[in-house]
Amino acid sequence: MRKIAVFLMVLLVMLSCSSAKKTTVSPAELAAFKTYIENGSFEFNATATFPLQTHAFTNVANSGLLQPGSNSGHIDLTGNPSYVRFIGDSISVLLPYFGERRVSGGYGANTDIKFDGILSDYEIAYDTIKSIYRISFRMEQNTEVYDVHMAVFPSKNGNLSLNSTQRSTIRYNGIIQDIEDTETSK
């Protein structure tokens, strides 16, 4: 009886692992995706953010200040302007920030992450095993420095991780769009 139970358990595990659907992309779709990203004119539009869950931020989030459907670990950005626009060698960033600011930005300092300027330390690499682009760059504004790392998938979904010298780390999920599409939809 025990052998049958072990056999059924192993069979169940094997079936559950094999049922995970693997997303495949045709060679034509992959070539179009590569051209699209390497063109260097696109926008990452953030749809959700995942702030670092520190004790202080969790206390603030639990006080009811976040919009309905959001919690200290996941904040829905529907209806909020939140983008990273790549236009050649320039970048325009507007991302809402949720988390702890560890160093004061001064009186009246901006709470969002806003930046318009030239890309610095820009690197783009294609991961052939995972079929994703990894993009990294640096933004420097006054005394604050941001290191940004993105992963862009052929499905035109992406995620962005932002590390700052003055704020706790935050991560964003979103979609990749043409800049013209986002300008006409606003």
- Report the pLDDT value the prediction gives residue 181, as an integer from 0 to 100: 54
When mean pLDDT is compared across 18-22, 50-54, 122-126, 163-167, the lowest value belongs to 18-22
- pLDDT, tens digit, for every residue of 148-157? 999 999 989 9
What pTM was computed for the model? 0.77
pLDDT band at 22 (very low <50, low <70, confident <90, very high): low
What pLDDT is stored for residue 157 in this prediction?
A: 93
> By three-state DSSP, how is residue 168 classified?
coil
Helices and strands of the chain, counted as H and E runs: 4, 10
More confident residue, 136 or 119: 136
Contacts of 153 (CB under 8 A, 6+ apart): 131, 132
**What pLDDT is recorded for position 180?**
65
Distance CA 68, CA 74 (A): 11
- Inform me whether the pLDDT recorded for 8 exceeds 60: no
Q: b/e string for 93-103 if b means 16 or more Cβ within 10 A?
A: bbbbbbbeeee
Write down the architecture of domain 25-185 according to CATH: Beta Barrel (2.40)
d(Cα 182, Cα 186) in Å, to the nearest integer? 6
CA 168, 172, 176, 182 torsion-angle sign? negative
pLDDT tier at 17 (50, 70, 90 boundaries)?
Answer: low
pLDDT tens digits for range 77-129: 988 889 999 998 899 999 998 877 777 666 656 678 899 999 889 999 999 88
Give mean pLDDT, residues 132-157: 92
**What does the pLDDT read at residue 12?**
60
Max mean pLDDT range (51-55, 78-82, 90-94, 178-182): 90-94
Domains of the chain, by residue range, sit at: 25-185
